[in-house]
Structure 1
């Protein structure tokens, strides 16, 4: 019989009293991202030299095994455990590094994730999902943290015109279920990554309402921005135009910052290319910067010895935007995103720690009109995809008919070059038609079934919310 592996922890090991977490979108697109390998190699250097040193790191858009291995080699002394997650046709781009052993891991694919026809965007082909890791920090059952690293579907249009809004909303719903399940097991929960959403957006509210996790930045900065300064939602708040320094330190902006070289105009980029160390002052107006990267957390619970009631075990000490430095030789930013980082501390049983535990959330359910909004958008998207399916299948039969006509025409044309042209056109047309038909029959059918599952879950949550408000046995119209 095989002897079970021994635990790396001894009975007298002291579990950590603090936990440093870092999340970064590396922008490591192969063949597309400029200076990819040089930048990701330097990202490894900076993680290894970070102060305070991170205990858990979540990476997004780390697409190649080569770049992951390079980062692992540079951080191995600090973070000896790691996992590169495989998903989709071109990989999921997700990785988790840890100071402690990863006991279990899995990659959960999102059922709704883009469309294969949008090959120029690539979301469907990379198989986005949630990289899950169960990490043991000590010898007892209390010393477990469950980490969920993700990269949600990118927005290519502004809301409410974003045709992928339903996909991103469904993805937020999926990771929320995973984090809620981990919290119900009594473990410390950390959800991190590039969520491609702004604070208090629909996806953000779903995550914080349907699971006990909280956005660490808004815990410490509740009045921080909820969009870019140029966005209508920020203009309605009536806040003055923030500068680049304020956006990084207070608003938590990780994307489109004036300090990020990849967001500079062509003139500044040309100066960098020539080796000129261009600097941007922290005081420059910064209308485009926003927060797309997040760390959510839910404390593990413990029972107070005196009262026997559960209290939070972990609290947020600090949060900051990091990885703002530039490559020492190339002088460019290390990624088109900055990192978001946080320090969690293990609480004692004193009253102040319990008071600031953040275990209880103010709302258990979203407002009913929000569920109605989600269902309305999902219903409209359902109609859209039904039309798309009919068009794609119709296109297949049209091309098939045209191909047969071309084959018949070959017998009657007087010149061979015309027969050749008809043969080429029929072959190309049939190929396109078959691809379109397969997408209509297979992909769209699969997407519609996944959409029905999402709609059912939202309807079920709506009914439960109504029931708690005293509306028992909702009518069919209400459903």
Structure 2
């Protein structure tokens, strides 16, 4: 007797079968970003006239509500709903625009987010975090997309002395927990923003390993660059310097592009001011172009969710992804931002009958030489993919295997939920190094406070014996300034560094616990928290 096969559920007529997502760093720093007002106005105009129109837009570095309202006015016909997120002392600059109503929203701050002592950088003062929005796009119980917009800590330093890498890693970890929780609620998940990380970096792997999401660009372009041409990971691939056109089309470069006028030298900018548009040849070598703006989505569904005897339900797949908003301001001839936008289109797809069996959906056959783990991570390199070329007329590489919608829909993360164990040790070592640094900072700033109090008292005593008024004035001034600096350092030692060290302890415990779960070490799970030196 043949088992009865139920028909796959069909989406409601009012449920969209396509979602267009877009993210852009607007470079809207008040009093710092050049030509901010006209650029922001044209960004709004471009968003309202883009074809196809975006359904959900995530914006970063939109630091004034005036700029947010300007974009809202320009896009009100295509994106009638929006939310500007408030955080920190000066605001995190995050906003989400939507075609559909936002049912729920929240702003989740990052526990580790820069240092107040680096006031000229501003990351700590803007209160960076994750802007979360729950958007309902249809009448069904699961016709919900949970959107996460973020702008992580900037990489001001590089190499082994990068003291902010621990912050960026912790932020990627916090984001991955939010994405995983949203996916477990059965909703479509989309994380967009300026992540300030390179493809397949540690932060990138944390997000794609500990949350059921994938980098849309690497789904369609798995052979894309791992960084600018001078980056060690990219140099190791032995590729030639890409052209401007190739970087946009294949590598998804959104930052430091040779075609972006805000990355030009002073002489080139002077030509722009004189009215010369300075057109860029698409074949121009692009040495510094890199991809740091991302869209991560939870494509497809888990095979375990399909019961025996049921046809596979439709799911979301990545239909296309592109770098957009590369146009310039029509009058000023400048790029609209120092970043380009990334746009991705998701499509609701029902798997073909040939890939659906009695026991649920089956993954389409893959070449025997293809690494299954590499395919799951989006790192599969098609054997016929051409090397990067400086010519914009090169033929694009053949479509990667995971661009097949059935392969995406049947994608399963059941065996790819953790990093290699040595990487957990690398993260723990990073935490220990940074913890030791912050403990030293806390100790010396505390010492500075007590020394400043002693100097202040000494200066006040010296004033009594001062032979001249100007000497008394100098002593009082030195005592006041010294005490002020000491009190600031004392407050930092007492409040900021204590808070940061506790956040580091939480981060360390979570990494240790995850490593123990991944390795099956039940003894480590039962152990008490490790004591960090200095407690």
Q: Output the TM-score relative to the length of structure 2.
A: 0.84
C-alpha change, 1:353 and 1:243, in structure 2 (3 Å) is closer
The aligned residue for residue 454 of structure 2 is: 401
Please state whether the residue corresponding to 2:120 is helix, strand or coil: coil
Write out aligned runs for 1:29-428 (5 A).
Answer: 29-299=29-299, 301=301, 307-308=309-310, 313-350=315-352, 351=355, 353-357=405-409, 359-361=411-413, 363-428=416-481
Q: Which piece of structure 1 moves more, 157-166 or 446-455?
A: 157-166
- TM-superposed CA distance for 1:478, in Å, is 12
Report if aligned partners of 1:189, 1:300 keep a CA contact under 8 Å in 2: no
Please state whether the residue corresponding to 2:451 is helix, strand or coil: helix
Aligned mates of 1:336, 1:474 — CA distance in 2 = 47
Aligned mates of 1:300, 1:287 — CA distance in 2 = 36
The aligned residue for residue 6 of structure 1 is: none
Aligned mates of 1:90, 1:49 — CA distance in 2 = 31
Report if aligned partners of 1:371, 1:458 keep a CA contact under 8 Å in 2: yes
- TM-superposed CA distance for 1:354, in Å, is 3.6
The aligned residue for residue 381 of structure 2 is: none
Please state whether the residue corresponding to 1:237 is helix, strand or coil: coil
C-alpha change, 1:391 and 1:441, in structure 2 (3 Å) is same
Aligned mates of 1:355, 1:446 — CA distance in 2 = 46
Aligned mates of 2:205, 2:181 — CA distance in 1 = 18
Please state whether the residue corresponding to 1:134 is helix, strand or coil: strand
Gaps in structure 1 of 5+ consecutive residues: 1-10
Report if aligned partners of 1:63, 1:91 keep a CA contact under 8 Å in 2: yes
Aligned mates of 1:264, 1:437 — CA distance in 2 = 43
1:429-458 Cα distance to aligned partner (Å, 9 max, x none): 111111111011100000000111010000
Aligned mates of 2:411, 2:19 — CA distance in 1 = 18
- TM-superposed CA distance for 1:159, in Å, is 3.2
The aligned residue for residue 523 of structure 2 is: 473
Aligned mates of 2:94, 2:283 — CA distance in 1 = 34
C-alpha change, 1:312 and 1:425, in structure 2 (3 Å) is farther
1:391-427 Cα distance to aligned partner (Å, 9 max, x none): 1111111111111111001000100001001111111
C-alpha change, 1:123 and 1:182, in structure 2 (3 Å) is same
- TM-superposed CA distance for 1:330, in Å, is 1.1
Gaps in structure 2 of 5+ consecutive residues: 1-10, 356-403, 531-535
Report if aligned partners of 1:322, 1:339 keep a CA contact under 8 Å in 2: yes
Aligned mates of 1:183, 1:166 — CA distance in 2 = 26
Report if aligned partners of 1:81, 1:102 keep a CA contact under 8 Å in 2: yes
Count of equivalent residues: 466
Q: Output the TM-score relative to the length of structure 1.
A: 0.94
Report if aligned partners of 1:311, 1:359 keep a CA contact under 8 Å in 2: no
Aligned mates of 1:319, 1:138 — CA distance in 2 = 23
Report if aligned partners of 2:249, 2:322 keep a CA contact under 8 Å in 1: yes
Aligned mates of 1:418, 1:311 — CA distance in 2 = 84
Aligned mates of 1:378, 1:312 — CA distance in 2 = 42
- TM-superposed CA distance for 1:359, in Å, is 3.4
Aligned mates of 2:25, 2:138 — CA distance in 1 = 29
Aligned mates of 1:358, 1:127 — CA distance in 2 = 39
Report if aligned partners of 2:199, 2:227 keep a CA contact under 8 Å in 1: yes
C-alpha change, 1:235 and 1:186, in structure 2 (3 Å) is same
- TM-superposed CA distance for 1:309, in Å, is 7.6
1:352-403 Cα distance to aligned partner (Å, 9 max, x none): 7443226313621101100000000001101110000001111111111111
Please state whether the residue corresponding to 2:523 is helix, strand or coil: coil
Q: Which piece of structure 1 moves more, 160-169 or 215-224?
A: 160-169
Aligned mates of 1:378, 1:326 — CA distance in 2 = 43
- TM-superposed CA distance for 1:52, in Å, is 1.0
The aligned residue for residue 449 of structure 1 is: 502
Aligned mates of 1:300, 1:403 — CA distance in 2 = 66
1:254-285 Cα distance to aligned partner (Å, 9 max, x none): 00000100001111011112221111111011
Aligned mates of 2:314, 2:460 — CA distance in 1 = 74
